[in-house]
Homo-oligomer: A and B are copies of this chain.
Amino acid sequence: MTEGTSGCGFDRIGIVGVGLMGGSMARGLRALNAPPHVVGFSLDPADGRLALECGAIDELATDSAEAARGRDLVVYATPLGVTLDFLGQHSAVWGEAAITDVASLKAPVMDRVKELSEASRYVGSHPMTGGEGSGFAASSDGLFRDARVWLVRGEGATRAAGGVERLWRALGATPLWTDALEHDQRMTWVSQLPQLVANGLAATLAEAGYTPADLGPGGKDMTRLAASSPEMWRDVLETSAPRLAGALEAAGVELARMAAALEAGDLAAITELMARTKEWKG
């Protein structure tokens, strides 16, 4: 890794996966003064071509290792399981590059780079942005602006840490350092649980015979995430399964408790709960 002269600190960047996250990073980098040279790769050929045609990347790699070879920074923006596979496949071609990823869990990636003895070049990223869209078509150059990005640092990755933090700041994000396990525990509750509650609510409404057109703005808010890509979530949900089961169970118990209060005509219990959550929202 050499100190670059581009607006983000890295001159040559490889982005493996140019969907919502990787595509938005490519577009955000392109919008900088002195943009770096970006080589992209996509498992979805249509997404890769689109990123190239839109001018978001300088070159489209024909295989994933090509995007990872000869760079100052390689960014993995693929589903978690694919990222874990690519790390093992690519480590031989990384040269001096710093490595980051955008997976929404950090401990499994940290474990993998440790196994590969590559922790000293690894800084994991988790941008708290996105939504229900997926693919390059859903990307935008402002996706990371004002977003929190959780960062975790591999042991000894001092230089990479400075570089990756600078990259996110250049994209308008707010980087915050954390610990991989603590991060993943938090995400079970604040990210995966809301996602599955949206799916559960949508399934309940579908089963009762209602359609999205029947919903008002509140119901639309509450089912927006039900359109999220199952492919993007599968690995994350699998990794978190036991912890996430506990969180879902807690939410289910809360709903059952509210149902029982309504059944018993205990409206005060419901309005007290509403007042409490209104205060929590602040």
Contact = CB atoms under 8 A, between A and B. Distances in A.
B210 A130 contact: no
Given A131-B217, A186-B214, A226-B280, A204 B193 contact: yes
Interface stretch (A11-19, A57-65, A82-90, A246-254): A246-254
Interface in A95-142: 128-132
Contact of A230 (B148, B199, B275): B275
Interface string A256-279: 101110110101001101111110
Contacts of A193: 201, 204-205
Interface in A190-209: 190-191, 193-208
A252 B260 CA distance: 11
A222 interface: yes
Contact of A190 (B215, B255, B275): B215
Contacts of A238: 265, 267
A63 to B, nearest CB: 28
Contacts of A248: 255-256, 258-259, 262
Copies per assembly: 2
Given A129-B217, A203-B254, A250-B207, A196 B237 contact: no
Nearest to A204: B251
A245 interface: yes
B244 A262 contact: yes
Contacts of A196: 255, 258, 270
A252 B255 contact: yes
Contacts of A191: 215-216, 218-219
Of listed A208, A270, A277, residue having the most chain B CB within 10 A: A277
Given A217-B128, A217-B129, A200 B254 contact: yes
Contacts of A258: 196, 199-200, 248
A228 B278 contact: yes
Nearest to A205: B189
B242 A263 contact: yes
B216 A190 contact: yes
A21 to B, nearest CB: 12
13 contacts: A128-B216, A193-B204, A194-B215, A197-B222, A203-B277, A204-B254, A211-B280, A222-B225, A226-B277, A226-B281, A237-B267, A245-B259, A249-B259
